[in-house]
Structure 1
Amino acid sequence: MSLDPVALTADLVRCPSVTPEEGGALRLLEGILTDAGFACTRVDRNGVPNLFARWGRQGANRTFGFNGHIDVVPVGDAAAWTHDPFGGEISDGWLWGRGATDMKSGVAAFVAAAVDFVRETPPDGAVILTITGDEEGDSVDGTVALLDWMAAEGEAMSVCLVGEPTCPEHLGEMMKIGRRGSMTAFFTARGVQGHSAYPHRARNPVSAVARLIDRLASHELDQGTEHFDPSTLAVTTIDTGNPATNVIPALCRATVNIRFNDLHTGTSLTDWLAAEAERVQGETGVAIDMTVKISGESFLTPPGSLSQLVADAVEAETGIRPEGSTSGGTSDARFVRAHCPVVEFGLVGKTMHQVDERVEVAQIPALKAIYKRVLKEYFA
């Protein structure tokens, strides 16, 4: 009997799995996959729930992997929702609820595709599913923990397809063949407090931060590369916490976020930021400290057999040839790429993280059909 991905999506949405809570989602999937002959292992780490499932023998010559997450962001104001955010209700052709788009529908589609595929045409090889509860959080103990466990246990994927929503408007129009890197820099400028009428007796950290931020924001990092748009730097906050108009504060903080292409690394950009901060410190006499958080490096899976396989399957099922893109934010593909070639393809993501998150019901079985075709063609 074919596994219904719409019903499974609804069941998953009804699991309140706000990061890092599992909410019953992985228990549900583990039961379904075990019944289908998958060997399942919970790979929880530091309270984060993760599931590894493999059909076929370990060390098979060909192993196709899927990766996804069941954790979701908070619902916000539940009263603002048209439908219960954890109700999994179907209305007007849409399935409503937190995670309906990002990405319980994607997980349901690849689970259903994998279960049907191994039951109908057992492949010469293995199918691995890695499902985490820590993609929307710090992402330290999710897919990273699964990959660490796999390395220790001798488990490996030959290639991997991540089921994140990738299409802007219509199912089939875009897949991700890479992602920009992401990093955040936090600056703290420490000056000398004083009266605004006597600025020569103070050392103004706000002026120093303004000078630094202007230089950073007006600097052109690059003009883009063959597969990437130009890198961007966004100023996200400048804070002094100063309510007085006649006081020069002693402290000012600022934060910038950089999304960068393959012309840069987190280290090279950190060096540039530090040099600019040191330059302003020398000009103003205001001490500027910096800390940096690198969320992920840029990466690219060069167009080749995997991207062609996915693109061919998408076109066969939808009539649309997907564009290979590196746009958008980060995903767990940034971790998988160190393990094996990885591509991302999933549903339309317009409502993800919004109030009234929802997915068009018809897209879910269509996505399952794409994933199932990918498996058939990979093992053909």
Structure 2
Amino acid sequence: MNEFDYVAAARQRTGSVVELAQDLVRLPSRGGIDDYQPVLDCVESWLADRALPHRRLFDSDAGLVGLLVEIAGKRPGPWWGLDACLDTAPFGDEEAWSFAPTAGDVVDNWLLGRGAADSKLAASTFCHIAEDLHRHTDRLTGGLSVLLDVDEHTGQFGGARAYLSDTRTQRAAGIMIGYPGFEEIVVGGRGLWRATLTVHAPAGHSGSSKTVTGAISRAARLVGLLDQAQLPGPDSRFPLPAKVSVTAISGGSGFSVVSDRVDLNVDVRLTPAFDEVAAAALVREAVKQVDEEMPGPAPTEVSVVASWPPFQLTPKDEPAAAMLRAADSLGIPLATKTAGPSNIGNLMSAHGVPATAGFGVPYEGLHGTDERARLTELPSVYALYHRTVLDLLQAAPPA
């Protein structure tokens, strides 16, 4: 053939990709629940058998949080990255599953089990692409990093943070995150500002002849103010509105005691028109109003838990542009999307690393019951990432 057929080459690789993904799915690696060592050992053994250069990533608190594969080209230039998480969401009610959460079986061209979609199939794909490139490093300008991280589903993003803080790492000029979903790539996402609010009140007996305003009543007023907050809507800079949600409330006991403390979790989704300063001001103003209307024995405490900004690439920004070029050349209709939830792309963007996310195989049951990933589109997914990476590394296709 006159032009390299990426899809045909990918079909020759997909059997091995699925085999490694099956091995990974059969090793439970639920974020914050399971030991990550077995799933990382599995990948590390696969990499070592193929002499692919890799090393472990550590976090001072969490320990081993990922593996980093580094394929260096013979010519100097920027590095680019692929990222897929190896930890997963919890199983939930296992009795509700129609197959074992760690089945790892292929039935009717679907890979079954927790992590099949998010994101062990992507991790296997990226390992195989690294192997492809390692055979032809003389053609590469710059290099490719493949981050295989854990501690992602806890929300701590330990593997990504370890990658960003490691002084030996070749910082990527851009990174592509292998979340599933075949019809679009995510090129942006709302940011977040999260805080725990601690509401105080005098303790008392619910049957007392004295009127006692408890912490639950004060907290309810605070929730009402936050629910009624007026936030900026979409504009020409960003297609999604800001959003505030009270996501958890805890406090109180029994029936006869008026609670003296309630804790609220508040999640604010940020946009360019409503940043972390605006979010903090909104919440603190609501807190101030409640403390003035319904005074307590101590001011309501605001403890910020996490914050990162929104991000958004244009179709002309790399690596999004390279993915769109690859999709066009392969005849894959591919749209771009700015997502409501945050993802590792927000973290990368906050550290100056532009990111895409969300191109992979179709899926069902993500984070829910009967998670599975369809393999029909796997050759096209593989081909698109393979072609994108070669484009970014200024490499000619294989002979």
TM-score bracket, normalised by the shorter chain, equals: 0.7 to 0.9
Q: What is the CA deviation profile of residues 143-163 of structure 1, one whole-angstrom value per residue up to 9, with x for unaligned ones?
A: 1011211xx125222221111
Do residues 273 (structure 1) and 283 (structure 2) align?
yes
Map of 2:177 onto structure 1 = 162
2:194 equivalent in structure 1: 184
Q: Does 2:146 match 1:134?
A: no
Q: What's the counterpart of residue 243 of structure 1?
A: 254
TM superposition shift of 1:127: 1.4
Shift of 1:58: 9.0
Aligned to 2:113: 97
Q: After TM superposition, give the deviation of residue 203 of structure 1 in Å.
A: 3.1
Q: What is the rounded CA distance, in whole Å, between the counterparts of 1:336 and 1:274 in structure 2? A: 28
Deviates more, 1:312-321 or 1:221-230: 312-321
SS for the counterpart of 1:125 is strand
- Once the two structures are superposed, residues 165-188 of structure 1 have per-residue CA deviations (whole angstroms, 9 ceiling, x without a partner) of 2x3xxx2x2211122112333222
Tell me if the contact between 1:177 and 1:301 (Cα under 8 Å) persists in the aligned partners: yes
1:196: Cα distance to partner?
5.4
Counterpart contact for 2:364–2:370, Cα < 8 Å: no
Listed as ranges, the gaps of 5+ residues in structure 1 are none
- Contact 1:25–1:70 (CA under 8 A) maintained in structure 2: yes
Number of residue pairs matched?
A: 371
The one-letter code of the counterpart of 1:274 is R
Shift of 1:54: 0.9
Change in 2 beyond 3 A, CA 1:301/1:197: same
Is it true that 1:125 corresponds to 2:142 in the alignment?
yes
Query: In the superposition, relative to structure 1, how do residues 241 and 282 fare at CA in structure 2: closer, same or farther (>3 Å)?
Result: same
Q: Is it true that 1:41 corresponds to 2:41 in the alignment?
A: no
Q: Does residue 1:354 correspond to 2:393, yes or no?
A: no
Does 2:305 correspond to 1:293?
yes
- Secondary structure of 1:161 counterpart: strand
1:153 lines up with 2:165 in the alignment:
no
Match of 1:253 in 2: 263
Deviation larger for 178-187 or 353-362: 178-187
TM-score between the two structures when normalised by the length of structure 1: 0.87
Q: Please point out which of 324, 328, 332 is paired with 2:344.
A: 332
Aligned match of 1:143? 160
Q: 1:339 Cα shift?
A: 4.1
User: In the alignment, what sits opposite 1:50?
Assistant: 66
Partner of 1:264: 274
Read off the aligned partner of 1:358 and give its amino acid letter: R
Distance 2:215 2:13 in 1: 65
- Of 155-164 and 296-305, the range deviating more from structure 2: 296-305
- Within 2, Cα distance between the matches of 1:133 and 1:333? 15
CA spacing shift, 1:315–1:350, aligned 2, 3 Å: farther
Partner of 2:42: 28
Which is worse superposed, 134-143 or 85-94? 134-143
CA contact (8 A) 1:240 1:252 kept: yes
d(CA) in 2 for partners of 1:117, 1:59? 14
Superposed CA RMSD: 2.6
Give deviations 1:174-226, integer Å, cap 9, x for gaps. Answer: 21112211233322222224455767642333332222221111112211233
CA 1:58–1:279 in 2, change beyond 3 Å: closer, same or farther?
farther
Structure 1 distance, partners of 2:51, 2:243, is 47
Task: Map 1:70-109 to 2 at 5 A.
Answer: 70-109=86-125
| Residue 382 of structure 2: aligned partner | 368
What is the match of residue 314 of structure 1?
A: 327
Secondary structure of the corresponding residue to residue 91 of structure 2: coil
Alignment match of 2:27 (pick from 1, 10, 15)? 15
SS at match of 1:52: strand
**CA distance, structure 2, for counterparts of residue 113 and residue 208 of structure 1:** 56
